[in-house]
Structure 1
Amino acid sequence: MKPELTIQLMDTHAGGDVSRIVTGGIASLPGDTVRAQMEYLRDHADGLRRLLLEEPYGIPEMSVDLLVPPTDPLAAAGYIIMEVMGYPIYSGSNTICTATAVLEAGIVPKQEGRQQFLLESPAGLVQIDATVRDGVVESITCEGLPSYIHTYRATVEVPSLGRVTYSVAYSGGFYALVDAKELGFDLTLDEERRLAEAAHAIVEAVQAERRFSHHTLGDVGPLPFLHFMGPVEHVGEGYYRSRSATYVHPGVICRSTTGTGTSARLALMNYEGSIKPGDRLETISLRETSFIGEFSAVEQSGEVQMVKNQITGKSYVIARSDIVVNCDDPMVECGSLHHILSGQQ
């Protein structure tokens, strides 16, 4: 008999976005950093991402986070983020989910009250602040990548929508930021399909017209994401709230507002002078879930003003399971996966 090949998973969600945390079943990856291991996975073993995000095992709306041993001795664990569009170097919701899984799996023992530890992402070390009450992980606060505004209030002609005004922020990926009201949206759940269609049309129009270069990383590919911004409500001293929706892939609006989308929004609010360090923005999704972004500080990087920020959310464990990998199944393509399964003989 052929050996049974299995992958161990802990399924979680933060704000409605499901992150499948791979806790076992994958062999050690080559690379002296988590970033290098991510690049190996991307270039030589992309079958893992496709297996867990495509039929019959998954759907494109999910994300996958592979736990790997950290290469930095300060970190408790490393993780590689996989989404339908590829391998982002950072994600707020995935980090919140991974930090929760690390605690629930006992990799970092839970402590009542507030505890801190480091994770190693492809973007580098990430500070985690966890709050545990009665053994339950109540919240995770993680660093967002320093964010900045690349383009402010440009316009593009979009078929069926006309002339659209947008700004572009970098917060771990380039985001087009658009005013939902200007496009006739209230950011309610019944608009989800039309939001995805409009976002896809805008992103395609922007991609056809121009590319964006990161001020230190250079060309990081075409603009992938779009964040719809609702009106900002001033709730209290230093506290703001806004409905939001993030587009990541044709047909896919994230169920959460996303951490990187919230970070991008903070960068824009700082650019416009409407918030100050210490202020917080709560972004509300189509499904009424929320993340809280805190504007920590501004730092100068050359001519670019970077917004340091933190994202707070709560993740829930929804399943622990073993997935059986059937390479004889015609719906499973094992060619770029088989060699990294730890049960392979």
Structure 2
Amino acid sequence: MRDHDWIRQALMFEPRGHDIMSGAIIYPAYREDCDFAVIFIEVSGCLPMCGAGTIGLVTAAIEEGLVTPRVPDRLSIETPAGRVDIRYEKPGEFVDSVLMFNVASYLHAADVAVDVPGLGRLVVDIAYGGNFYAVVEPQESWRGIDGLSASDIVGLSRSLREALEPVCDPVHPDDERIRGVHHAIWCDKPSTRNADGRGAVFYGDKAIDRSPGGTGTSARMAQLHGKGRLKVGDIFRQESLIGTVFEGRVEAETDIGPFKGITPSVGGWARIIGHNTIFVDDRDPLAHGFQIA
């Protein structure tokens, strides 16, 4: 993408995209144990991993015939964060569900105290689930999601990220290119009996995830496991801001460098809602798109 980032910009930026736009680019795998490889793109750049994007990608790739699995109902995908294994159910014409076995996830730092403008002193955990997250649980200065708009959460998230930068700058022990806290998940109690928790996931420059967040659910489970609140075999169902739910499970314990972590699985579904043809005209001075602060 270093030499072709104009493609990402043209697809993600206005007027073709928007602030929370994200996508995936498929290409041949370098690893022999993978069916294909993917780069995840969004407005602020490229991501090591995207869980909701993977569920959508698998659904579209199988239903549209973009890839041919070597093993029926199974895929292995090479992502920048590592290999991600997939099981999907396709009883007929459509993919009903996708189960993603995510990269190893872990609690990087617990009980990190920071002063956040607009909130005051906040204690957060830093967890990795394919991206590094600041995990914020309800506390004296953070009562929960209810009563806050998406723009409120974006503002708080940007302040939190800025406050964390000089305090905690995590680096993945196996890949130093994966570093820094760029995501946040603001946790709350669920609004439905079908979930165990609810979260608002912040990413990019000013985006709030509409899905429960695949890497966010993985990071949340890693955080709970690291604090002794989940064990192998436990299920954790994460609810999104719009009421959809991903079902996560602690599949196994594993080591990530000096850290103890987990292999998480996350299950969900996606639906194809359209096809789009994009034009980029060199005569257009804004051919690669634009952003408004």
For residue 46 of structure 1, report the CA deviation from its aligned partner.
0.8
Is the contact made by 2:48 and 2:178 (CA closer than 8 Å) also made in structure 1?
no
For residue 285 of structure 1, report the CA deviation from its aligned partner.
0.9
Is the contact made by 2:120 and 2:141 (CA closer than 8 Å) also made in structure 1?
no
Is the contact made by 1:180 and 1:187 (CA closer than 8 Å) also made in structure 2?
no
Match of 1:217 in 2: 175
5+ residue gaps, structure 1? 1-40, 335-345
Q: Describe the shift of the 1:258–1:158 C-alpha distance in structure 2 as closer, same or farther (beyond 3 A).
A: same
* 1:82-124 residue CA offsets vs partner (Å, 9 max, x unmatched): 11222112111111111112101213469xxx81122222233
Is the contact made by 1:76 and 1:107 (CA closer than 8 Å) also made in structure 2?
no
Match of 2:43 in 1: 84
Is the contact made by 2:183 and 2:204 (CA closer than 8 Å) also made in structure 1?
yes
Match of 1:49 in 2: 8
Please say if 1:307 is aligned against 2:266.
Answer: no
Q: 2:82 and 2:109 mapped to 1: Cα distance?
A: 26
Q: 1:162 and 1:271 mapped to 2: Cα distance?
A: 26
Please say if 1:132 is aligned against 2:87.
Answer: no
Larger strand share, 1 or 2: 1
Is the contact made by 1:212 and 1:219 (CA closer than 8 Å) also made in structure 2?
no
Q: 1:180 and 1:215 mapped to 2: Cα distance?
A: 29
Is the contact made by 2:201 and 2:208 (CA closer than 8 Å) also made in structure 1?
yes
Q: Which amino acid aligns with 2:101?
A: E
* 1:44-83 residue CA offsets vs partner (Å, 9 max, x unmatched): 1111111011111111201111111223344332211111
Q: 1:274 is matched with which residue: 229, 252, 271?
A: 229
Q: 1:207 and 1:152 mapped to 2: Cα distance?
A: 15
Please say if 1:256 is aligned against 2:248.
Answer: no
Superposed counterparts of 1:229-248, under 5 Å: 229-231=187-189, 241-248=196-203
- Find the residue that maps to 2:114 and give its secondary structure: strand
For residue 209 of structure 1, report the CA deviation from its aligned partner.
3.2
Q: What is the TM-score normalised by the length of structure 1?
A: 0.77
Please say if 1:154 is aligned against 2:154.
Answer: no
The structure having more radius of gyration, on CA atoms, is: 1
Q: Describe the shift of the 1:285–1:189 C-alpha distance in structure 2 as closer, same or farther (beyond 3 A).
A: farther
Q: 1:328 and 1:181 mapped to 2: Cα distance?
A: 54
Is the contact made by 2:133 and 2:184 (CA closer than 8 Å) also made in structure 1?
yes
Match of 1:93 in 2: 52
Match of 1:26 in 2: none
Q: 2:140 and 2:190 mapped to 1: Cα distance?
A: 14
Q: Describe the shift of the 1:165–1:190 C-alpha distance in structure 2 as closer, same or farther (beyond 3 A).
A: closer
Is the contact made by 2:27 and 2:37 (CA closer than 8 Å) also made in structure 1?
yes
For residue 188 of structure 1, report the CA deviation from its aligned partner.
4.4
Q: Describe the shift of the 1:330–1:218 C-alpha distance in structure 2 as closer, same or farther (beyond 3 A).
A: closer
Q: 2:177 and 2:28 mapped to 1: Cα distance?
A: 29
Q: 2:123 and 2:25 mapped to 1: Cα distance?
A: 38
Match of 1:207 in 2: 165
* 1:304-341 residue CA offsets vs partner (Å, 9 max, x unmatched): 1021111111111111122122111122139xxxxxxx
User: What fraction of aligned residue pairs are identical, expressed as a percent?
Assistant: 28
* 1:162-185 residue CA offsets vs partner (Å, 9 max, x unmatched): 101111012222111111454444
Q: 1:259 and 1:248 mapped to 2: Cα distance?
A: 12
Q: Which amino acid aligns with 1:80?
A: I
**Higher RCO (CA < 8 A, seq sep 6+):** 1
Q: 1:62 is matched with which residue: 2, 17, 21?
A: 21
Match of 1:337 in 2: none
Q: Describe the shift of the 1:157–1:115 C-alpha distance in structure 2 as closer, same or farther (beyond 3 A).
A: same
For residue 245 of structure 1, report the CA deviation from its aligned partner.
1.1
Q: Describe the shift of the 1:280–1:158 C-alpha distance in structure 2 as closer, same or farther (beyond 3 A).
A: same
Is the contact made by 1:229 and 1:243 (CA closer than 8 Å) also made in structure 2?
yes
Is the contact made by 1:149 and 1:169 (CA closer than 8 Å) also made in structure 2?
yes
For residue 296 of structure 1, report the CA deviation from its aligned partner.
0.5
Match of 2:145 in 1: 187
Q: Describe the shift of the 1:124–1:268 C-alpha distance in structure 2 as closer, same or farther (beyond 3 A).
A: closer
Q: Which amino acid aligns with 1:117?
A: L
Is the contact made by 1:224 and 1:248 (CA closer than 8 Å) also made in structure 2?
yes
CA RMSD in angstroms comes to 2.4
Q: Which amino acid aligns with 2:9?
A: R
The count of residues paired between Structure 1 and Structure 2 equals 287
